[in-house]
Structure 1
């Protein structure tokens, strides 16, 4: 009779984020499939978990699936963990989970920490609709093409990025999305040097350039969607027109607003009429 495969989330930094259920699950299973057994061995040691480990990572997952599935089919409960956070989220494990399901094996989530969700919940950008994009290409040309395809997306976008590429990546985002696009920068979440800031992409480029420490550690970028940027521009225009209309006619206020912002006078004029009608 087949056993169960538990997909277990582990801390992304702070060990106190390990759940009681995760600890009990890892103690109860017959074997733990881990992304890096050396990293996971330290975690297990901290929580006095003696369950055997076996490696399951990007380079061996395809070859190891049959062996792991056969153990499950023989009745051995198994847990799947990554180096940190929730497995499969820019980490290996998808092929094993898919194979287990194809063989009728029950896959059970044991929820916990996830860097993408932790960042989204704290940077102050809309979270009702979002898209997790993971890591962009390490090649600049390919990365720019990926960003071009995303620039008109209206939902919040979440990216992971390596520290040695973060500055180049943010510069590319500023070029494609615009320097005024809002972004949340979350680095080393739950760790000693945690940094969580919200600013524009242009400001983030300067922030990273001015402090080399911001080019270290695990980094999540949460970028506002295209509509959010337009909404912000609309709000700024409304504020400007409201102030100008206190002293100027609709025609004069809209002309000055067009000169200051670069938008078409016809657009500014129409908005000025709408504001005065309220």
Structure 2
């Protein structure tokens, strides 16, 4: 169903809803379509080729729904698919459409939060193995040292709503200690997965004093606001009725139940079927 010109927000599942929540709070006037590819989630352990193909299919579906601008609210998709879509697909097939990610806006400012110029990045295996954050941060802060830690158990814990329970402590401490053991100068930790903001209360309780915890949700929302102001030719295309539509490639009942944890409000989704 085409509901007119909207901003598309895509994630492999639920995590992007934390970003979407901040975007809606920052820019409530716009129309939005959120798409979670839950039937094929998680993306983190898939190959580059698979992640690229899945992401492209979902982006093209959002284009077909009337979204001239799509935000990849997913670190794995941003790391492994965004550049190829921007450079190879948009110029040839969709010259009037735009796709943005979450890595570059974060890399542009993250260095300002570290006094010791030593940053820890916690993410999925896919994001960590892509080396996207060390490479992007180096463009803006070449003097900053970046250490990474993959946290493969965090997404399953969060999606099963077990992340704040005592049973999650082992894996929270394990990955945190493994990261901090890499360099004693780490004074800023970037949560490079859109699921991880839900871990913040537990992480703050376990984090040594003097280490700052940085999420992405407000960073991405502020970056989108700045982008639309800088590109009025894109902003003028987006309807301003404050409409929000949610879609999932998975089971809608399951999606709605879990999505409320991430979005902070009850939602009602529709199922989409990829026909690309």
Q: TM bucket by the smaller chain?
A: 0.3 to 0.5
Rg (Cα) greater in structure: 1
Scaled by the length of structure 2, the TM-score of the pair is 0.34
Scaled by the length of structure 1, the TM-score of the pair is 0.34
The one of the two structures with greater contact order (alpha-carbon pairs below 8 A, sep at least 6) is: 2
